Amino acid sequence: MLRKGEFVGMPACWPLFPVLQIEAGRRISPVVMAVNPNIYAFFGTDEALVKEAATKLSEKIAPTDREFGLEIISGGADNAEHAVQIVSRTIEAIQTLPFFGGDKLVWLQGVNFFADNQTGKAESTLTAVETLGSILASSLPPDVKVIISAGEIDKRRTFYKTLGKCARVEIFDKIDTSKAGWEANVMGHVRDRAKSLGLDFERGALERFVLLVGADTRIIDSELEKLSLFTSGSPVTSETVSRVVSVSHAGVIFEVGETIAKRDLPRTLHLIDQQLRRGESAVGILLASIVPKVRSLLHARDLVENRGIVAGRSYPAFQAALAKLPDAETAHIPRTKEGALSAYPVYLAGQASDKFSASELKRALEACLEANLRLVTTGLDPRLVLHQLVTRILTRER
């Protein structure tokens, strides 16, 4: 998010435009800033969206005579010396007008030395980049437009703060999947991009797609393209998603939880072994996959048995039912920035919680604690500890 007071000292003579922080295509928190309308900057960890936004703008504002009026400079530097050369070439392009006159667009594309990395921290790079910032902040020729696109950028540096005063800045960051409620944000993003491909997800299919793929736009677009080719206009079902979509690292974590919810012991053991072979730590599997699912199942089962709240077809209706409960009974459920309950994991778990009783799940959570202690305090084989744990959780009581 943009920090309060991050951009100050705005020249009063320039028109006002909003600087926007964007997460996976969703514009949020507009802040009015003074900018030069001929300078545009696109940054963010979601490089696919950064490139997409910059490309669309370049197509819109590029001069008719692109051969002489459009200059694209690759910003991928191998080292500090190369970065200085790129900046010098950019400054030269900005200051050199087309031979036959007319408008000019300079696009510094895919810069990798604005971040807090070895090349970006080099003294020569910092000096060159600050010089570029000074030139952009000065009065550019009215017929010259500049686009800068990059991945991560160190917001502590003078260059970024200078751009905040002289450019229209848009930031595209990936949604943080470690925060509660990320699924709902990504689903809206996926729905919008699927619509452009004519994809129609059936109930449950979109949720499954998001949980298998994660929040990376590049991966999302690739998997949507596969679904589009596979379905040929037919509705996308959950079965289709399972058959076609490649499972990301986040997706495997979700799958482990799903097989636990289904009480599918053989599949759970297989996925755990798969993750261990890939180098995932046993503690990581326990804390990221097993414990959250058991906890969500327990919360969902408790709602069914003690409050009669069932996870039906509508997540908003489920949220509304939870909102009517006393705060003390929902204190364990995360909340969104707006204060609403973010209970999507509990909602998903509620659709499978009938395979367990609340007492079983309480014992399962105690078994998770015991397994955690065994993993960090003993020399037992981690694979054996996890196998014993899930067998204990999923084997029905006689």
79-125 confidence digits (pLDDT tens): 999 999 999 999 999 888 776 667 899 999 999 999 888 999 999 99
pTM for this entry: 0.60
Greater model confidence, 397 or 224: 224
Distance CA 185, CA 342 (A): 11
For residue 385, which amino acid is it?
Answer: V
Distance CA 53, CA 172 (A): 9
What value does the mean pLDDT of the chain take?
82
What residue ranges define each of the domains in the chain, with the CATH number in brackets? 16-173 (3.40.50.300), 184-244 (1.10.8.60), 250-394 (1.20.272.10)
What count of residues does the chain have?
A: 398
Query: Do residues 30 and 1 make contact, with C-beta atoms less than 8 angstroms apart?
Result: no
Amino acid 6: pLDDT? 36
Q: What's the pLDDT band for 129 if we cut at 50, 70, 90?
A: very high
Most confident of 84-98, 234-248, 343-357: 84-98
Q: Which of 10-14, 97-101, 117-121, 211-215 has the lowest mean pLDDT?
A: 10-14
List CB contacts of 378: < 8 A, sequence separation 6 or more.
none
Amino acid 148: pLDDT? 95
Amino acid 19: pLDDT? 42
Query: Do residues 353 and 239 make contact, with C-beta atoms less than 8 angstroms apart?
Result: no
Matching residue, tokens 């309060």 = 4
| Residue 77 exposed, middle or buried by CB count within 10 Å (0-12, 13-18, 19+) | buried
Q: What is the average per-residue pLDDT within 43-62?
A: 90
Q: Which of 107-121, 151-165, 325-339 has the lowest mean pLDDT?
A: 325-339
Q: What's the pLDDT band for 10 if we cut at 50, 70, 90?
A: very low
SS3 68: helix
Distance CA 333, CA 309 (A): 15
